[in-house]
Structure 1
Amino acid sequence: MATQISTHKATALTNPSNYALTSHRLRRTLHDFTKQPIVLVACGSFNPITYHHLRMFEIAKDFIRQNTDFEIVGGYLSPVSDEYKKAGLVSAHHRVKMCMLATEQESSWLMVDSWEALQNYQRTAVVLDHLDYEINTVLGGVSTRDGEHRDVQVMLLAGSDLISTMSEPGVWSHDDLDDILGRHGTFVIERTGAALDQAIDSLARWRNSIYPIAQLVQNDVSSTKVRLFFRRGLSVQYLLPAVVIDYIEQNNLYPDDGPCTEKDKGKGTESGEADISTSESSNTCVKKP
């Protein structure tokens, strides 16, 4: 069973004007008073969001229900800011909107937090601390059926490439690793062939708060491939929600520019970007400091 990690009360962070945390699907009452309430958070470009991003939450949900003492009370996608300045990154306004359309149509429990997208580049640790503050301090956490207050543990959901970068010396600051892994914890979707065990061994101090999850059905759909399909005029039906496809076409976000060149094909990690997904390293990311 999962080792419960003590929650961390973050201090108030500056919010963009007119910002308010989306919380309409945040469940405020625990079903099982013996469990620790958690919220899953995925940080990334979502350029665009695909079914694979949504599927990762469901994979984690099954694992958590069957193997841990946690109870999920909500899930958030946090699109990266335009200040990330990655080539081909459409505006945060569009990426937030696509995530909202996808979650509202395809999920009953996922939400989008626009805080990160609406301002300057923010580190992953800061994003998690922000949500900790908004959920536990501003909203007051959750309660048991008997009215007992509980703080919610905000936990990162990411792909196995994330842990690989965290185990590399000098890539992440020790303080941020201690915040992300020590105070919050992470669920990591494994990728076939990734040396996840070795990476976790390098992060032995936080081993008890890193939860690797196997993919029972392999899925290599990525935003990079979806963008390439759009550029080549190929069908993307069933790779991402129809409502997102319609939005992309209405706003001409990824225009058809003819046959791709070699440089359009799959790229590796760059600028410290580690993939949230398990097969893509150039569009959905968890940021280093």
Structure 2
Amino acid sequence: MPPEVPPRRTNTFTYPPNYSFPHHRLRAVLRDSTKQPIVLVACGSFSPVTYLHLRMFEMAKDYIRQHTDFEIVGAYLSPVSDQYKKPGLLNAHHRVNMCTLAAEQTSSWLMVDPWEAFQNYQRTAVVLDHFDFEINTVLGGVHTQDGERRDVRVMLLAGSDLICTMSEPGVWSHTDLEHILGRYGTFIIERAGSTMDQAVDSLARWRHNIYLIPQLIQNDVSSTKVRLFLRRGLSVRYLLPSAVVDYIEENRLYLEDGSGSEKEKGKEKEWGPGGEYQDRPPLTAIP
């Protein structure tokens, strides 16, 4: 049987008007030349972005430092397009603004890329290709202290619900799984109430590229629950960054079912079959 041909990278992309790839916090020089440089990408609706979304990056950073030979040179939130067509999806403008506030005011290394948000729906595999193209082809990757050029490996950061959908027959195409897990790889954060062992067993051919990260302090905050609190007039402070709470209050978001339908109530699953958060709205730049 001939060896399977790896999926080809997408190298032709459409761009939203006035788009430029954010790289103001992307490190250009590798600190340790023995490490492999990586960029983390979390795809989701982030409607709204919560502290758990931000904690995922911190948990991944700790795990990577302690258990791998990778070095993080950048990290991105990539919100889904309005064309994702999820019922009650808040428009991209507000979602990008909230993510930008969260990244800029709570972190020194996270960035928000609005590329996916402001165009037609893009498959997760294509989103990762976009990051690979911008970082390695356009920007030229990174350099070691001695000036040697290195490609940066793009890796998906996700919750364990994602790996469960990947193991379900018919939800993901084999080509996309090979592209995401075989070419790029993923860090999976354990989510409260989910078990990953059986899911990972069914993805055994890519096990070397799947890194499971336990939540040592369980956190089950979800955007769905936050929206429900807001519709009921309950406080969400200390569940979200203060700047995001202020933005929601100033713009009177999530007060009616139009930004979070009744169908969502009691629905806890955050990751959609396309590899995105079920709530994941697109991100827009703050004007």
TM value normalised by structure 1: 0.89
Structure 2 counterparts to residues 97-176 of structure 1, below 5 A = 97-176=97-176
Question: Over the residues paired in the alignment, what is the CA RMSD in angstroms?
Answer: 2.2
Displacement, 1:265?
2.5
Q: How many residues align?
A: 272
Asked whether the equivalents of residues 161 and 275 of structure 1 are also in contact (C-alpha less than 8 Å), the reply is: no
- Distance of aligned partners of 1:262 and 1:136 in 2 relative to their CA distance in 1, 3 Å threshold: closer
Distance in 1, Cα, partners of 2:37 & 2:11: 20
Asked whether the equivalents of residues 41 and 77 of structure 1 are also in contact (C-alpha less than 8 Å), the reply is: yes
Distance in 1, Cα, partners of 2:90 & 2:14: 24
Distance in 2, Cα, partners of 1:192 & 1:96: 26
Distance in 2, Cα, partners of 1:218 & 1:268: 15
Asked whether the equivalents of residues 233 and 256 of structure 1 are also in contact (C-alpha less than 8 Å), the reply is: no
Displacement, 1:272?
2.9
Distance in 2, Cα, partners of 1:115 & 1:165: 25
- Distance of aligned partners of 1:274 and 1:19 in 2 relative to their CA distance in 1, 3 Å threshold: closer
| 3-state SS of 1:98 partner | helix
Asked whether the equivalents of residues 144 and 150 of structure 2 are also in contact (C-alpha less than 8 Å), the reply is: yes
| 3-state SS of 1:254 partner | coil
Structure 2 counterparts to residues 3-82 of structure 1, below 5 A = 10-82=10-82
Partner of 1:240: 240
- Distance of aligned partners of 1:255 and 1:32 in 2 relative to their CA distance in 1, 3 Å threshold: same
| 3-state SS of 2:12 partner | coil
Asked whether the equivalents of residues 161 and 274 of structure 1 are also in contact (C-alpha less than 8 Å), the reply is: no
| 3-state SS of 1:33 partner | coil
Can you give the 5+ residue segments of structure 1 that lack an aligned partner in the other structure? 1-7, 277-281
Distance in 1, Cα, partners of 2:276 & 2:27: 28
Structure 2 counterparts to residues 255-274 of structure 1, below 5 A = 255=255, 263-267=263-267, 269=269, 272=273
- Distance of aligned partners of 1:192 and 1:97 in 2 relative to their CA distance in 1, 3 Å threshold: closer
Q: In the alignment, residue 76 of structure 2 is paired with which amino acid?
A: Y
Partner of 1:283: 279
- Distance of aligned partners of 1:76 and 1:262 in 2 relative to their CA distance in 1, 3 Å threshold: closer
Displacement, 1:268?
5.3
Distance in 1, Cα, partners of 2:213 & 2:26: 24
Which whole-Å deviations, capped at 9, do the CAs of 1:115-174 have from their partners, x for residues lacking one? 000100111000000000000000110000110000000000001111111111111111
- Distance of aligned partners of 1:164 and 1:18 in 2 relative to their CA distance in 1, 3 Å threshold: same
Structure 2 counterparts to residues 173-184 of structure 1, below 5 A = 173-184=173-184
Distance in 2, Cα, partners of 1:284 & 1:216: 25
Structure 2 counterparts to residues 206-225 of structure 1, below 5 A = 206-225=206-225
Displacement, 1:191?
2.7
Q: In the alignment, residue 240 of structure 2 is paired with which amino acid?
A: L
Asked whether the equivalents of residues 30 and 142 of structure 2 are also in contact (C-alpha less than 8 Å), the reply is: yes
Which whole-Å deviations, capped at 9, do the CAs of 1:34-71 have from their partners, x for residues lacking one? 00000000000000001110000000000000000000
Distance in 2, Cα, partners of 1:80 & 1:50: 16
Can you give the 5+ residue segments of structure 2 that lack an aligned partner in the other structure? 1-7, 282-287
